Structure 1
Amino acid sequence: MQTAPQTTDELYEALRENDRRPYGRTRTVTAEELAETAELFGEPVPLIHALLELQEAYTYGSEPRKSPVVFARLLNLFDEQPGVFDDRLRHQLFWRFKWVANALRSLPEVPLGSLRQWQTEMRDRYEKAGLELQPYYGQAYQLAAHVGEDTALAYELWAGRTRSRLSDCEACETCERALYHLAAGDDERALRAWEPVLAGKESCQEEPARSVSYALLPLVRAGRTDEVRRLHLAGYRGCRRNPSMAGEIGRHLEFCALTGNEARGLELLAENRTLFDEVDSPLSLLDLLTGVEVLLARVEALGHGELPAAGFPGRSWTVASLRAEVRRRADDLAARFDARNGTTAHTDRRRTRLDRTPLLESLELTLRPRTLADVAPATAPAAPEPAEALPGSPAELIKRARELDEQGHPDAHACWARLRTLTTDPDYVHPDDPEAGPPARLRADLLEEEATLAERKDAHADAAALYEEAAGLYEDAELAGHAVIARASAVLAGAQAVPPRAEAEDAERAVPEGAGAEGADPQARTAAQVAVFTEAHAELVRLHEQAPGIAPYLQARLLRLRVSAHGLRLQASGDSEHVAPVLAEAELLFDFATRHGLTGQIAAARLLRATTHAMAGDLPTALADADGLVEVLRTDGPAWHLPRALSLRGKIQLGLGDAEAAYASLSEGVRLAAEWPAESVDTPTLHGELAQACMGLGRTDEALRHLTRSAELELRAGARFDAFCTYSNAAQLSLDLGRIDDCIALLDSLLLEPDVVDGELDDRLVAQLRLTRARALRTGDDLKAATAELVALAAESAGWDDDPGSHAMIAAETAILLGEAGEFTKAREVVDQALAAHARDPRYEQVSNALRELARLQAQQHGPEGLTDARAFLDDAGRVADAARTVDFKAHGRSLDTALAYEHGRINAYAGAYDEALAALDKALGLLGEPGEDPHLAAEWAECVRLAGVVEGVYLERTAPALARIEAAADRLTSLGHSEEAESLTGLAERLRDGE
């Protein structure tokens, strides 16, 4: 709280603002400050409101020791001045007797006699006030269940009574009834009782999240796995990081442990690590710790006790050490409750949970299924597994590696990896064998392999340096042919590593002064890239001409590098004049490889030729080439080229619109790729392309699986940026498909990754993930969380000086959410930021949409009193539309001018300015023109006519002209085949005739 309220009006506004905050320390501290301020006014009613807010903050902030103290002050005020408590305040006071009972029950230091004494106090107060006693009997039952007494009679005395105004909400009572049946071992009856809550028909602040946490295991036991998956995702989101729902989080952790989702359990534990320090309720903490222990015990039983785990602050924990600490603390808490209650109920319940065995070996919960191996600390990647066992002696291993490398066989990578390990051992002795050659040659071989792997990760500058170093060593070993290949490889890697900025500077200087840099810069860069690859090709030809006597397989590699240089030039330019040189070089490679029987290079030449035709847009020729290549590879090999050929064919088939054929090709490619080391096949790309084919066939669930599989493979390969981009696409797809819980769970998992938390991942990519999450939260009706996320994003993106357009878009979207929440002052501030950023990098449609929507919300929520502010938003939208018109901007939907005129009509109608509304709607109809055959335009036109008819016929009471307008429009729509739109108008006409 920056400034203490100076008046009671300011105090009430501060209380309302604090009520909008999430429960936690910020809200609690502010409530404490407001209560202190309220006392200074010397008026009982403001103080009562402040104390009620403070007790709520303590109750839902998991501080049960403080809640009864605040309530005692309220009760004293009521006893001293009952007249100042109106009906609402009196209802609040008697409702909170239950809060105090819950708080006292959760504190083992409060004697059992004091708990019973409080219940007696509650009963006496209710009877004196003439209130029904069902809430009292509810508390008596809950105390009996807590202590571990026979609950049958207490349950009947409560559940058999009619509900009253002070009874717990129906959702909470439903949960208590279900838990009674669950404790009796009757899963089926418990689930029947829970049905309305789990189906979303009954809810409150803590429901259905509380019920879901208890229902998870019974649902699994009942075999309702699809339902339990959905409820886990939604239910966990309802309690995550919430101190007052620590026990519910513990049960979600237990559920993960018992369904083969131990890795997700550790992830959720990390997300809620602050609860170890924040939860001040011993009963909630006991519930949480028991769930944590179930998870940790399961992880340790699976042999992962040394994994790091998120635990109590102040030190680092492993699974094993944290489990021991959790067990000690939880045992102590259970013993304290049992000592207070005079039973063994809490120890027994803890033992029952800890003794449970897994219910399922595996239950896929999220779009990102992970294992404990996936959450282990990063280690050096495992060496690829070869198809055949590796030779034992270094000499034989070197020989095998070079033979396989000459063939281009993928198993060469495993040999080189093994040799790298051997040679780094201090005791390694190079074999004295002529075939093994000198140590310098082996070092060169290993450097060349390292460079190849670097290239596959797009680390072209590193690769070029490694190739150059290898070339020098080959020369020292008097292997001229190998040196040429290494140097040629360095040339091509260097060309891909060169940033075109320097080469583009001269081209940019030729751009006329005042011309937009947006158009010149890409052209200059393209020209620079073309020049770099042209020069690289010339250098490759020179190197080839200077090495006439090298072995055929080395010459073929040189020819392949030449094709690649021209191919990269074509890829950079997209210019058709660069197609023929690529095909000519590919033909040289094909002819040479055919003469010398180099099957791997024959396949490579055909693959490059088909790829070139595809890049040139000649898809039928590309497909014919790919078909031929696949058939040759099936019969003659080499088999390791087949997944790549199938990938190319599938991509071409997608381009031709044949999703069924593409699906078949890509599915086979994925299956065959599993037979080869990951280094030889781009399996992530195969899965990504297969996802596209699935989307073309309407197999959306399968598409999501392939997208997430592609991303996880990219993560394992160390391509984290690409992986997060793919995951971002999967999240957006799940949002588009309406799978809101899946989308949010996936993004929550990604945003917990260490490089995201530590700020090491690209900030714009992280912002995109958060933006998608905010949109998913909004779609899922969690407006509060969505607004908080977007407000934070808007503040961060304000500093993106290099990308004001993105800030304009984010700020515009944020302003709409603030408007929906009724916070128009903040919405005005944020939309002004959007306008300022838009002036630097226009986002006409997004900014105009936001301004019009804010105008609508202002008029809708405030009526005539909001008309001035609403019109101010529309004035800004008008200026945006004027600017868009000057640059001939075309909106994706209706024009900005048409949308603006319609919105003028709508907000004037909301505000009761009906003549102005009708004039604006007539203008909108004029801008829309005739509906024609376009169904979207017809729908907009019909809606505009409908609203004009309502304004004219209902509010202005001009029935005859309104009927004429509506009936003519309906006839027009019917004649054009828009029967559904026409029906909406004829229905309105009938109501007008009937005088409704």
Structure 2
Amino acid sequence: MPTAPHPQSTDELYEALRENDRRPYGRTRTVTAEELVDAAEQFAEPVPLIHALLELQEAYTYGSEPRKSPVVFARLLTLFDEQPDVFDERLRHMLFWRFKWVAHALRQLPEIPLSSLRQWLTEMRDRYEKAGLGLQPYYGQAYQLAAHVGEDTTPAYELWAARTRTRLSDCEACETCERALYHLTAGDDERALRTWEPVLAGKESCQEEPARSVSYALLPLLRTGRTDRARELHLAGYRGCRRNPSMAQEVGRHLEFCALTGNEARGLELLSENRNLFDEIDSPLDLLGFLTGVEVLLQRVEHLGHGELPAAGYAGRTWTVAGLRAEVRGRADDLAARFDARNGTTAHTDRRRARLDRAPLVDALELTLRSRGLDDVAPAAAPVAAVTATAGRTTAAVPDDLAELILHARKSEERGHPDAHACWARLRTLVAARDYTHPDDPAVGPLVQLRADLLADEASRASDKDEFAVAAGLYEEAAGLYADAGLPGHAAVARASALLTSAEIPAQGDDATEATATALTAAHASMVRLHEETPGLAPHQEARLLRLRATALGLRLQASRSEEHVASALAEVDLLHAFATRHDVVGQISGALLLRATTYAISGDLPAAVTEIDALLDRLRAHGPAWHLPRTLGLRGRLQLVLRDAQAAYADLAEGLRLAAEWPADAVDTSRLHGDLAEACMHLGRPDEALRHLTRSAEMELRRGSRTDAFCTYSNAAQLSLDLGRVEDCIALLDSLLAEPDVAAGELDDRLVAQLRLTRARALHAGDDLKAATAEFVALAAESAGWDDDPGSHAVIAAETAVLLGESGEFGRAREAAEQALAAHARDPRYEQLSNCLRELARLQGQQQGPDGLAGALAFLADAGRVADEARATGYEARGRSLDTALAYEYGRVNAYTGEYEDALAALDKALALLGEPGAEQDHAAEWAECVRLAAVVEGLYLERPAPALARLDAAVSRLTPLGHTDETEPLTSLAARLRDEE
């Protein structure tokens, strides 16, 4: 598969090599490297070929193709032996460095005899000695071979570790890992972790580190009680190795970590994300390590009784956990046996067995913001099981006798008791069975009545999910069956429910609000007629109809927010309350009081709403029904939030959540309670707790089947975690969401998915993964260019993309992205975002390129100036400093970076004039002081005019000190001291 034009000159070849070097390791880079070797062979001079071969060996090494790496190196060694003079110091260094790569590659191949491995090390030693190079790298390879084979490593370790490092030694991070592994193998977790600390802390790194060290350190951290550190490193370390064939063993150790910490569901998720590794790992040793980690996970899942769960495995067939485990076990056992046969020991079989025999180290360590159990990833369970799983401690047992079950379900439905849902679920399963026989009992009624009951329950569930059109159709069907059964009262309630849900179907267009209000008015009128025309209604049925009528007018008020609709809504509630009280329909009494409180709240009379809610809570605590308490407390909590009493809101919502736990999961909208609690926590300055409630809310929404709502809530949680600086938590959460099947298949709203990806890209940027962040931003910018209905969002995305490209030094592409942003901004202005982007691009170009970047930087600032002019003309006010002030300051910085000091000073003086001198408030004192400092640097250091610079600084300090801005004066006094020292 050709990936690049065939280079026609050495210059083109070198450019192609540089371009390939920027690609990630993998098949594309490797194939391109192979093509470039072929291209290099056409040139008479050997140096281009040497460079191409070096690139190819690197692609094989880090692309997990160890069989090919030694072959390429043999060609390089032959070229060196034949023409040593063409190898300059750098090429010579690279050649001798890669003796270690070959030693590593040979260890990974069980078909290579042990004698050949030892012979290669002898070759390496002889070559190093002949070249006058230190032997510490050779002894390092000898130690690694001893550790691989399973020999006594102490002598080899001492011969290596006691020697002084040379220029050809492995990097500090890699050697640190090897020393730590020596102590780990000896059973000294503490010493291993102390040795690892510089790498784990990020002070030492390389191509494979710290990801490699992190994967090994996870279990020692758990064994020594450092669970939080293990969690943190798992999130960061896994991201550094996922889907990478050359780091398959590291992926395997992360899967093992999940299995041993009660995170089997996350382990299966990560396995799915890395399914490519089953077919892309060419290294037998890496494959053995990966498969063993996979088996640890699958063994644990099967042990927990979930062997029939689906699992991601080898391509070409569908796997269960049990089936994949058997396949993996056979392959891994064979690999371990092959290595042991080659090495003449049992080391690999023993190590594998030790990993498989480990017991879990932690019962349940919460690894991510999206904690899920195996039940959450299981296929939908039978309704009977679901009933058992969701029943709370106050829920009555579902009767075994069929007739009793039907009667109990209807009685519970009549009372509004949460037991009804469990009973209907059980009955739905029984009725669907082929051998179902309906009870011949007059009290139970005919089968057609039961079928109508089940349809009505299904309609209620659809309505709870805002699937109003579906609910309306089901209610109509139920009404027809009730009529067939000779039950006009039941039919009337079902038809009234259909009228209400039909009116709730969201209207479209500019007059949607008016259309909704009109539909609800018509629905109410039809309900009134239906009520009047239906004879023989039982009290509970008549109360239900009155409740539906009151609800319709309440929803109309909510849609219209019109004062003229308040009185009619309250009057209908009064009718319901009076009727329910007269007939002692307990559930509808509390329902009427709740509707009255809600009506007052919607109309803006919050004190009356609170009074009603307080009275209702007193009644519920005295007379019940108890299952109404959580919802009522939730409403009072929301009212307290509006009244800005976050502490009272928190107390109500927390109590509501506690009481909700006493009832089946679907009896109370616990997702709403968690969401409101998150808001209360934010007002109370407890963002970490808010984050927990947001994720719980999303989980509840998912379990209810409200996937769009769940993903919106998860999106908010991801943004909050990013705002809190929990970057790896944010990325892990979003990676999990974006891997969901319906997301991957494009079934979720594309704008919501784009928002998730945008937050992830920002998190990658915050986590200093500039390459991955830029790639995601570029992709999002390309996709959002087609959002004709939302050019403003495209403007923001394209602007952020331009900044990341600028950070990478790609100012040509950054200019293109900025032009896209400006074009979209012209259609839907985003003044502040565009100004920020353009100024930052100017700063980056001036800072990175110096005088050569001045023209490009000034062009960006000119664009920012036009944006500021447009904003000023429309009366737009920026949230922080004015766009004109920010622009003047940036002109100062850019000119200073590019050596235009007079222009820089003039611009900074303009910025100071626009800012104005600071007052006692903290509003812009820091910004003003920084502007003074930069102006003094330009004036005193670059223009070598210390006297006016000192005068500027002294005046600023004199201005700030009496106002109490002591922190702002420190950099000014420090600069003044430096200028006086240099005078």
Displacement after TM superposition at 1:498 (Å): 4.9
Partner of residue 954, structure 1 = 941
CA-based RMSD of the aligned residues comes to: 1.9
Displacement after TM superposition at 1:97 (Å): 0.8
Partner of residue 518, structure 1 = none
Change (3 A) 1:849 1:380: farther
Q: 1:745 aligns with which of 732, 736, 747?
A: 732
Structure 2: distance between partners of 1:193 and 1:908: 47
Displacement after TM superposition at 1:495 (Å): 0.6
Partner of residue 105, structure 2 = 103
Is 1:796 the counterpart of 2:798? The answer is no
Partner deviation per Cα, 1:83-107 (whole Å, 9 max, x = no partner): 2322222211111111111011111
Structure 2: distance between partners of 1:754 and 1:81: 56
3-state DSSP of counterpart to 1:721: helix
Pairwise mapping of residues 883-894 of structure 1 onto structure 2 (< 5 A)?
883-894=870-881
Structure 1: distance between partners of 2:340 and 2:923: 68
Partner of residue 455, structure 1 = 463
Structure 1 stretch 740-749 or stretch 415-424: which is displaced more?
A: 415-424
Partner of residue 397, structure 2 = 389
Partner of residue 534, structure 1 = 521
Q: 1:134 aligns with which of 130, 133, 136?
A: 136
Partner of residue 425, structure 1 = 433
Partner deviation per Cα, 1:508-556 (whole Å, 9 max, x = no partner): xxxxxxxxxxxxx3xx222222222222223333333334752332222
3-state DSSP of counterpart to 1:497: coil
Partner of residue 378, structure 2 = 376
Question: After TM superposition, what 4+ stretches of structure 1 lie above 4 angstroms from structure 2?
Answer: none
Displacement after TM superposition at 1:459 (Å): 0.9
Query: Does the 8 Å CA contact 1:971/1:982 hold for their aligned counterparts?
Result: no
Partner of residue 873, structure 1 = 860
Structure 2: distance between partners of 1:676 and 1:647: 15
Partner of residue 280, structure 2 = 278
Structure 1: distance between partners of 2:614 and 2:528: 31
Query: Does the 8 Å CA contact 2:507/2:515 hold for their aligned counterparts?
Result: no
Structure 2: distance between partners of 1:327 and 1:32: 35
Partner of residue 495, structure 1 = 503
Query: Does the 8 Å CA contact 1:874/1:900 hold for their aligned counterparts?
Result: yes
Structure 1 stretch 671-680 or stretch 820-829: which is displaced more?
A: 671-680
Give 1:858's aligned amino acid. Answer: Q
Pairwise mapping of residues 210-609 of structure 1 onto structure 2 (< 5 A)?
210-379=212-381, 382-383=386-387, 385=391, 387-501=395-509, 521=510, 524-547=511-534, 550-609=537-596
Partner of residue 669, structure 1 = 656
Q: 2:843 aligns with which of 847, 852, 856?
A: 856
Structure 1: distance between partners of 2:890 and 2:148: 58
Query: Does the 8 Å CA contact 1:500/1:529 hold for their aligned counterparts?
Result: no
Partner deviation per Cα, 1:603-626 (whole Å, 9 max, x = no partner): 111212222232333333322322
Q: 2:700 aligns with which of 713, 717, 721?
A: 713
Structure 1: distance between partners of 2:92 and 2:580: 93
Displacement after TM superposition at 1:45 (Å): 2.6
Give 1:622's aligned amino acid. Answer: A
Structure 1 stretch 831-840 or stretch 763-772: which is displaced more?
A: 831-840
Structure 1 stretch 919-928 or stretch 858-867: which is displaced more?
A: 919-928
TM-score normalized by structure 1?
Answer: 0.95
Structure 1: distance between partners of 2:837 and 2:220: 46
Structure 2: distance between partners of 1:807 and 1:361: 46
Structure 2: distance between partners of 1:58 and 1:136: 22
Is 1:186 the counterpart of 2:194? The answer is no
Structure 1 stretch 648-657 or stretch 928-937: which is displaced more?
A: 928-937
Query: Does the 8 Å CA contact 2:597/2:613 hold for their aligned counterparts?
Result: yes
Give 2:442's aligned amino acid. Answer: P
3-state DSSP of counterpart to 2:789: coil
Displacement after TM superposition at 1:934 (Å): 4.5
Displacement after TM superposition at 1:710 (Å): 1.4
Q: 1:733 aligns with which of 712, 716, 720?
A: 720
Is 1:823 the counterpart of 2:810? The answer is yes
Query: Does the 8 Å CA contact 1:687/1:707 hold for their aligned counterparts?
Result: yes
Is 1:842 the counterpart of 2:829? The answer is yes
Displacement after TM superposition at 1:120 (Å): 1.1
3-state DSSP of counterpart to 2:41: helix
Pairwise mapping of residues 83-102 of structure 1 onto structure 2 (< 5 A)?
83-102=85-104
Partner deviation per Cα, 1:308-356 (whole Å, 9 max, x = no partner): 1111112111112211211121122112212221222212221222222
Partner deviation per Cα, 1:43-71 (whole Å, 9 max, x = no partner): 33332222222111111110111111221
Displacement after TM superposition at 1:303 (Å): 1.7
Change (3 A) 1:132 1:701: same
Pairwise mapping of residues 588-737 of structure 1 onto structure 2 (< 5 A)?
588-737=575-724
Structure 1: distance between partners of 2:506 and 2:204: 62
Structure 1: distance between partners of 2:867 and 2:42: 50
Structure 1 stretch 1-10 or stretch 294-303: which is displaced more?
A: 1-10
Give 2:501's aligned amino acid. Answer: A
List gaps (5 residues or longer) in structure 1: 502-520
Give 1:736's aligned amino acid. Answer: D
Structure 2: distance between partners of 1:401 and 1:945: 77
Structure 2: distance between partners of 1:4 and 1:935: 62
Is 1:910 the counterpart of 2:918? The answer is no
Give 2:694's aligned amino acid. Answer: L
Partner deviation per Cα, 1:746-804 (whole Å, 9 max, x = no partner): 11111111111111111111111111111111111111111112122222222222222
Structure 1: distance between partners of 2:612 and 2:580: 17
Structure 1: distance between partners of 2:174 and 2:742: 41
Partner of residue 27, structure 2 = 25
Structure 1 stretch 176-185 or stretch 454-463: which is displaced more?
A: 176-185
Query: Does the 8 Å CA contact 2:4/2:32 hold for their aligned counterparts?
Result: no
Structure 2: distance between partners of 1:283 and 1:580: 78
Partner deviation per Cα, 1:370-403 (whole Å, 9 max, x = no partner): 1111111235652464822233333333322222
Partner deviation per Cα, 1:246-285 (whole Å, 9 max, x = no partner): 1111111112112221111111111111011111111111
Structure 1 stretch 253-262 or stretch 653-662: which is displaced more?
A: 653-662
Structure 1 stretch 329-338 or stretch 76-85: which is displaced more?
A: 76-85
Structure 1: distance between partners of 2:884 and 2:969: 25
Structure 1 stretch 375-384 or stretch 737-746: which is displaced more?
A: 375-384
Query: Does the 8 Å CA contact 1:804/1:841 hold for their aligned counterparts?
Result: yes
Count of residues in Structure 1 that have an aligned counterpart in Structure 2: 975
Displacement after TM superposition at 1:108 (Å): 1.2
Q: 1:973 aligns with which of 956, 960, 964?
A: 960
Identity within the alignment, %: 76
Query: Does the 8 Å CA contact 2:391/2:665 hold for their aligned counterparts?
Result: no
Structure 1 stretch 562-571 or stretch 5-14: which is displaced more?
A: 5-14
Displacement after TM superposition at 1:821 (Å): 0.9
Partner deviation per Cα, 1:412-437 (whole Å, 9 max, x = no partner): 22222223223223333333333223
Change (3 A) 1:177 1:713: same
3-state DSSP of counterpart to 1:679: coil
Structure 1: distance between partners of 2:758 and 2:86: 47
Structure 1: distance between partners of 2:305 and 2:420: 33
Give 1:446's aligned amino acid. Answer: L
Pairwise mapping of residues 10-89 of structure 1 onto structure 2 (< 5 A)?
10-89=12-91
TM-score normalized by structure 2?
Answer: 0.96
Partner of residue 511, structure 1 = none
Give 1:461's aligned amino acid. Answer: A
